[in-house]
């Protein structure tokens, strides 16, 4: 006798193939139909009894008088909502009639919070009932016929056996107990064996092949369940199910377990440990070696002005040749810093300052030092912390020229390899000389995380901590050190146990890097199949080539201002076009997101007049400058629009604070497209760098093609801490819960409007942050090129469900330090 199952919801009926979750799409739980709901009340699909009702209220199953068991699972990943938005209208064990309301849910709230609202309706005891007819690909009302079930002949069912029973107890480490997804995995495993397998929880007993029976066991984290198997292959079936139950089945550790680990990880430092700010992530161990700076003395008064001038120019030529040689033999960041030094050593103001002093009777060395210090004083007077960090570069060229002038060796380039270098601070040229000696890591008393030395260390993957304070002076040369630039900690004279644990972490890290390199070119998705694009942040064609080599799937941020800085006039349309075309070609066919000129604040350009501002970070910055300079903006837009193939380059607007700015740029883009005869649409997205943009992400999402979160600026504006000010550097951490909540809110508001959200700020290059960003809803991460392969590997090792649970915990943390401890504990669970 057949049984009609009617629809439990009003909506659109579709096949399980269209459910974006392999558990349902691959019928692991059983066959059925899915409904895209338009109504908010689940009603009984037949007369029967409620056999399971999940605590979270998102899933219910019923058994008909004939024995058919049907599960209704409202939305995907809705177990994570922990009941929020669901109101059960019946209780377990209730008898219901077809059409009786079972669960009411808040359609909007669940739609915003869940991966999808699609609701699978599954026949879970396929061994007893088969579907003979189903309604799909059409609108359906509640209580309209959805499926017809026919009983499977008894003899066709699997064989039963009266052999001995084997059993074993196992403690569940599933954070939510056996809910629908683990039940499906258990059922799928059990079906591979002939044996009967049952699970027992107290006095409840359920067939391992029946999802409903497993749900009805009502298990939770830490429950001890007994697995019983009987039949020919009972031993093998028992072993397989026990092994499966012993894992967390990719669901992540429960909140309590991870929080406890996080608390442990956040324990105070012991004697011999010194905290610092991470300038370049990584791990290193080796002996401490103190870098001693050579003081270069110069006489005040010189010989004749002609002699001193000649000596100065000769020393400048020698120093320049040395810097140029380093620039030639280096690439990437080192070459860029050396180029900046070449420009400085030829700076006309410096030379004029030195000339003036020589004319007053001073020695060449004294005159050069005086000219440099005039500039340093002028920079200090600006109060701009970002510029103040550049003072290092001036002191660097002061020393290099004086070294050439006096013949004093600068030292520091003959340190033993594998050492951890301790210094007050490091000048870029000292770093370059030291790096050739292959140190293991760097620990500085002073210094800031955005200094050139920090950038150089990161570029070379050399772990570095800065701003460690005077305690570092207590460490004697040769003391064994563990430098943990993941936790921001140096441990002096570690115990053998600490050394072993650290060495194990180093070995794991190396293995992970190797695996990442091998899989760098493969597309990236989470372990449960969610596509996450890993892009790279770039500034030049060379960066683009490197990014492509590292496996980047596009560029999520082309910092176009690099074309505009350190020059006297703006680049022409043709020059810009050539640069953008070069980048697009290097990333053959992949998306290239070009950020419009982001000038102002910490990135001044001499030829763009911006009046003196008390608060440059809150003044003329980003799109505000571009809109005030329409010629500049239109020239840049035309250069981008000319790139072939049309559409490969997308346009991204920096520092957006209101919808009007997006509308304004969009109108200009559309006008230019018309004038230039470009018919292919060109995407225009916004950067979310201001709290205003984050909190109005829903409004922006309606009109923007995408949103990309700039965590560097968002952090400074959310925390009201200057991102370039070393005095507050320790607090400027994008893992602050306030920043994470802004990111989460941006993702929630924008994805509900159908727009993707990416992250292109520094947080996307922080391995500890990636699981949180994915869990918060970012689907594109744009990192520094050198981190792309590793980022892909991290994402591949995650399931969306565990990332979401982890992100949820991060949002509840009370400080950035607690979030970082939680992230470390999470990383531990992956090892």
Name the strands in the sheet holding 196-201, side by side, starting at the edge strand that comes first in the sequence: 165-171, 224-230, 196-201, 204-207
Give me the 756-795 binding string for ligand PEP, x by CB under 6 A, dash otherwise. Answer: ----xx----------------------------------
Q: Tokens 């709901």 correspond to what residue?
A: 37
In angstroms, rounded to a whole number, what is the distance separating the alpha carbons of residues 176 and 56? 10
- Least distance (Å) from ligand PEP to the CB of residue 693? 11
Q: Which does 760 bind (CB under 5 to 8 A by kind): Mg ion, ligand PEP, none?
A: ligand PEP
In angstroms, rounded to a whole number, what is the distance separating the alpha carbons of residues 527 and 805? 15
For ligand PEP (CB under 6 A), the number of binding residues is 10
Q: Which does 557 bind (CB under 5 to 8 A by kind): Mg ion, ligand PEP, none?
A: ligand PEP
Tallying the residues shown for the chain, one arrives at: 831
Residue choice 69, 393, 543, 713 for contact with ligand PEP (CB under 6 A): 713
Q: Tell me which residue of 71, 365, 363, 10 sits closest to 213, measured CA to CA.
A: 71
E-only strand ranges, 424-463: 441-444
- Least distance (Å) from ligand PEP to the CB of residue 601? 8
Strands 592-595 and 649-653 come out as: parallel
- Least distance (Å) from ligand PEP to the CB of residue 545? 21
561 near Mg ion, rule: CB under 5 A = no
* H/E stretch holding 501: helix 496-518
Q: Which does 711 bind (CB under 5 to 8 A by kind): Mg ion, ligand PEP, none?
A: ligand PEP
Q: Which does 782 bind (CB under 5 to 8 A by kind): Mg ion, ligand PEP, none?
A: none
DSSP state of 194: S
Told to judge if 452 belongs to the known catalytic residues of this protein, a careful annotator would answer: yes
710 near ligand PEP, rule: CB under 6 A = yes
Question: Smaller CB distance to ligand PEP: residue 421 or 652?
Answer: 652
In angstroms, rounded to a whole number, what is the distance separating the alpha carbons of residues 350 and 358? 12
- Least distance (Å) from Mg ion to the CB of residue 778? 16
Which residue stretch of 37-45, 83-91, 446-454, 707-715 sits at the interface with ligand PEP (rule: CB under 6 A)? Answer: 707-715
The residues with which 595 forms a beta bridge, in sequence order, are 559, 652
Question: Smaller CB distance to Mg ion: residue 315 or 617?
Answer: 617
Site for Mg ion in 713-752 (CB under 5 A): 713
Residue choice 77, 689, 733, 745 for contact with ligand PEP (CB under 6 A): 689
Residue choice 370, 710, 777, 785 for contact with Mg ion (CB under 5 A): 710
Q: What angle do CA 308, 314, 320 make, to 5 degrees?
A: 135
* Torsion of the alpha carbons at 150, 154, 155 and 161, rounded to the nearest 10: 140
Question: Smaller CB distance to ligand PEP: residue 234 or 788?
Answer: 788
Question: Smaller CB distance to ligand PEP: residue 713 or 766?
Answer: 713
- Least distance (Å) from ligand PEP to the CB of residue 687? 7
- Least distance (Å) from ligand PEP to the CB of residue 263? 30
In angstroms, rounded to a whole number, what is the distance separating the alpha carbons of residues 271 and 276? 15
Which residue stretch of 201-209, 277-285, 435-443, 708-716 sits at the interface with ligand PEP (rule: CB under 6 A)? Answer: 708-716
Q: Tell me which residue of 535, 541, 577 sits closest to 557, measured CA to CA.
A: 535
Q: Which does 187 bind (CB under 5 to 8 A by kind): ligand PEP, Mg ion, none?
A: none
Set 649, 760, 806, 813: catalytic member: 760
Give me the 529-568 binding string for ligand PEP, x by CB under 6 A, dash otherwise. Answer: ----------------------------x-x---------
- Least distance (Å) from ligand PEP to the CB of residue 363? 43
* H/E stretch holding 242: helix 234-245
Set 179, 198, 386, 452: catalytic member: 452
Which positions ≥6 away from 580 have C-beta within 8 Å?
Answer: 558, 560, 592, 594, 639, 640, 643, 649
Site for Mg ion in 642-701 (CB under 5 A): 689
802 near ligand PEP, rule: CB under 6 A = no
Half-sphere exposure of 807 (CA within 13 A, CB side): 27
Q: Which does 176 bind (CB under 5 to 8 A by kind): ligand PEP, Mg ion, none?
A: none
Maximum Cα–Cα distance across the chain: 116
Told to judge if 813 belongs to the known catalytic residues of this protein, a careful annotator would answer: no
- Least distance (Å) from ligand PEP to the CB of residue 549? 22
* Torsion of the alpha carbons at 811, 812, 815 and 817, rounded to the nearest 10: -80
Is the four-CA dihedral 245, 249, 255, 257 of positive or negative sign? positive
DSSP state of 600: B
Secondary structure of 526-567 as H, E, C letters: CCCCCECEEEEEECCHHHHHHHHHCCCCCEEEEEHHHHCCCC
- Kindly list the catalytic residues: 452, 760
What does the binding site for Mg ion look like in residue numbers (CB under 5 A)? 689, 710, 713
What does the binding site for ligand PEP look like in residue numbers (CB under 6 A)? 557, 559, 598, 689, 710-713, 760-761
């Amino acid at each position: 006798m057949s049984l009609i199952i009617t629809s439990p919801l009003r909506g659109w009926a579709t096949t399980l193939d269209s459910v974006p979750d392999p558990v349902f799409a691959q019928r692991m739980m059983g066959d059925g139909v899915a409904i895209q709901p338009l109504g908010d009340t689940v009603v009984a699909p037949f007369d029967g009894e409620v056999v399971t009702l999940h605590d979270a209220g998102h899933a219910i199953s019923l058994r008909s008088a004939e024995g058919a068991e049907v599960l209704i699972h409202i939305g995907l990943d809705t177990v994570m909502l922990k009941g929020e938005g669901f109101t059960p209208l019946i209780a377990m064990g209730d008898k219901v009639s077809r059409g009786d309301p079972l669960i009411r849910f808040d359609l909007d709230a669940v739609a915003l919070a869940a991966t999808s609202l699609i609701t699978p309706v599954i026949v879970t005891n396929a061994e007893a009932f088969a579907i003979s007819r189903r309604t799909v690909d059409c609108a359906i009302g509640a209580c309209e016929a959805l499926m017809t079930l026919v009983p499977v002949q008894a003899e066709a069912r699997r064989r039963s056996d009266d052999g001995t029973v084997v059993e074993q107890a196992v403690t569940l480490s599933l954070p939510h107990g056996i809910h629908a997804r683990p039940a499906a995995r258990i059922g799928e495993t059990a079906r591979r064996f002939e044996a009967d397998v049952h699970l027992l929880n107290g006095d409840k007993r359920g067939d391992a092949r029946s999802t409903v029976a497993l749900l009805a066991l009502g298990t939770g984290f830490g429950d001890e369940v007994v697995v019983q198997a009987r039949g020919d292959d009972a031993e093998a079936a028992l072993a397989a199910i026990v092994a499966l139950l012993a894992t967390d089945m990719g669901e992540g550790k429960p909140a309590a377990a991870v929080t406890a680990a996080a608390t442990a990880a956040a324990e105070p430092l012991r004697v011999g440990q010194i905290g610092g700010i991470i300038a370049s992530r990584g791990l290193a161990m080796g002996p401490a070696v103190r870098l001693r700076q050579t003081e270069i003395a110069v006489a005040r008064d010189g010989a004749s002005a002609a002699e001193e001038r000649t000596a100065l120019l000769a020393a400048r030529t020698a120093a320049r040749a040395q810097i140029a040689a380093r620039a030639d033999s280096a690439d990437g960041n080192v070459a860029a810093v050396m180029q900046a030094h070449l420009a400085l050593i030829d700076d006309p103001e410096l030379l004029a300052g030195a000339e003036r002093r020589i004319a007053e009777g001073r020695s060449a060395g004294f005159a050069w030092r005086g000219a440099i210090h005039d500039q340093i004083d002028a920079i200090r007077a600006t109060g701009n912390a970002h510029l103040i960090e550049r003072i290092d570069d001036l002191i660097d060229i002061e020393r290099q020229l004086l070294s050439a002038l006096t013949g004093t060796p600068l030292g520091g380039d003959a340190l033993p390899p594998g050492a951890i270098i301790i210094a007050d601070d490091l000048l870029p040229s000292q770093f370059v000389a030291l790096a050739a000696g292959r140190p293991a890591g760097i620990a500085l008393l002073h210094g800031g995380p955005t200094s050139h030395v920090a950038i150089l260390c990161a570029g070379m993957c050399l772990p570095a901590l800065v701003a460690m304070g005077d305690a570092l002076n207590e460490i004697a040369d040769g003391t064994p050190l563990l430098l943990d630039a993941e936790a921001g900690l140096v441990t002096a004279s570690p115990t053998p146990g600490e050394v072993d644990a650290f060495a194990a972490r180093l070995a794991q890290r190396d293995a992970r890097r190797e695996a990442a390199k091998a899989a760098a070119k493969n597309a990236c998705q989470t372990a449960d199949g969610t596509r996450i694009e890993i892009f790279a942040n770039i500034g030049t064609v060379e960066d683009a080539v490197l990014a492509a080599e590292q496996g980047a799937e596009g560029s999520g941020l082309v910092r176009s201002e690099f074309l505009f800085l350190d020059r006297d006039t703006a680049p022409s349309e043709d020059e810009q076009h050539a640069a953008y075309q070069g980048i697009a070609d290097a990333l053959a066919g992949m998306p290239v997101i070009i950020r419009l000129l982001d000038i102002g604040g910490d990135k001044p350009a001499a030829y763009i007049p911006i009046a003196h501002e008390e608060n440059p970070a809150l003044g003329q910055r980003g799109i505000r400058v571009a809109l005030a300079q329409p010629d500049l903006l239109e020239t840049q837009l035309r250069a981008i629009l000319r790139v072939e193939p049309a559409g490969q380059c997308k346009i991204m607007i920096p520092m957006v604070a209101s919808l009007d700015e997006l509308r304004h740029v969009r109108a200009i883009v559309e006008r230019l497209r018309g004038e230039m005869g470009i018919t292919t649409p060109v995407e225009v997205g916004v950067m979310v760098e201001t709290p205003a943009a984050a909190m109005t992400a829903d409004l922006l999402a309606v009109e923007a093609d995408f949103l990309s979160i700039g965590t560097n600026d968002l952090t400074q504006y959310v925390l009201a801490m200057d991102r370039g000010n070393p005095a507050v550097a320790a607090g400027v951490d994008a893992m602050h819960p306030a920043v994470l909540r802004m990111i989460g809110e941006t993702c929630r508001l924008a994805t509900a409007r159908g727009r993707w959200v990416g992250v292109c700020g520094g947080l996307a290059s922080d391995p500890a942050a990636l699981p949180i960003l994915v869990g918060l809803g970012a689907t594109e991460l744009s990192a520094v090129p050198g981190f792309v392969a590793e980022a892909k590997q991290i994402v591949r090792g995650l399931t969306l469900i565990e990332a979401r649970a982890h992100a949820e915990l991060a949002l509840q943390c009370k400080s950035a330090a607690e979030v970082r401890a939680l992230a470390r504990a999470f990383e531990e669970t992956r090892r």
